[in-house]
Amino acid sequence: SKKTFIFDLDGVIVDTAKYHFLAWQRLAAQLGIEFTPEHNEQLKGVSRVRSLEIILGLGNVEASQEEKNQWLIQKNTEYLSYIYEMDESEILPGVMSVLDYLKENNQNIVLGSASKNAKPILEKAKILHYFDAIVDGNDVSNAKPDPEVFLQGAKKVHDVAENCIVFEDSVAGIQAANLANMISIGIGETEVLHEADYVFKDFTFIDINFIENLIKE
């Protein structure tokens, strides 16, 4: 039968977290705030505005709305400079074989991301044409763990939530998928993503029989 497979972007399809980190780190350094890779974990799946608040909180920095807007632009400009250099070699291992299998088997493929830069990233990775629908940070008003992003995704391909399977690397994203009544598949560590229905370290650990069974169910 036909199912809808919803993919998160950052941390699932590509590892753009490293570019977010570099850009946030430069801003933090400029503001005299210490920002480590461990701190960066807290920003995964979190919106741009919320990410800045978390960083300012780390340094107890208070700022006007005008300053914050200015810093958000600065950070995104630097982030985009890394994105312009991206190509398909940055697609995470095992992702392409799953995408190809879903395409060959006529399944719905949807993007459900918090990023406002999702489309240019998919273009750079040369996989935009795989997606039947895209829901990103430009479309939603409620961030994950709110299920809005995934529910909109289902709606765009005229499917019901019970028919959807979500791939996510963030705790908030797994919670959003569960709240949407979708099957949740965590990509990462079991200890972190224990709320997911299934967890795989990365896509190379997903057997194609597993996908086949999800389609059959």
- Residues carrying an active site annotation: 8, 10
Among Mg ion, ligand B16, none, what does residue 51 contact (CB within 5–8 Å per kind)? ligand B16
- Would you call 142 exposed, middle or buried from its count of C-beta atoms within 10 A (0-12, 13-18, 19+)? exposed
Beta carbons of 58 and 33 less than 8 angstroms apart: yes
Does 3 bind ligand B16 (CB under 6 A)? Our answer is no
Q: Which does 47 bind (CB under 5 to 8 A by kind): ligand B16, Mg ion, none?
A: ligand B16
Among 4, 51, 108, 184, binds ligand B16 (CB under 6 A): 51
Q: If we measure between CA atoms, which residue out of 13, 68, 24 comes closest to residue 46?
A: 24
3-state secondary structure of 74: helix
Minimum CB distance to Mg ion, residue 214 (Å)? 20
Stretch touching Mg ion by CB under 5 A, among 2-10, 55-63, 150-158, 200-208: 2-10
Nearer of residues 46 and 91 to ligand B16, judged by Cβ: 46
DSSP string across 128-163: GGG-SEEE-TTT-SS-TTSTHHHHHHHHHTT--GGG
Quote the distance between the C-alpha of residue 95 and its chain's center. Answer: 14
Closest contact distance (angstroms) between CB of 172 and ligand B16 is 9
Q: Please report whether residue 48 would count as binding ligand B16 according to CB under 6 A.
A: yes
Q: Are residues 136 and 144 in contact, defined by beta-carbon separation less than 8 angstroms?
A: no
Summarize as ranges the residues that interact with Mg ion (CB under 5 A). 8, 10-11, 45, 169-170
Q: Applying CB under 6 A, which residues contact ligand B16? A: 8-11, 20, 43-48, 51, 76, 113-117, 137, 170
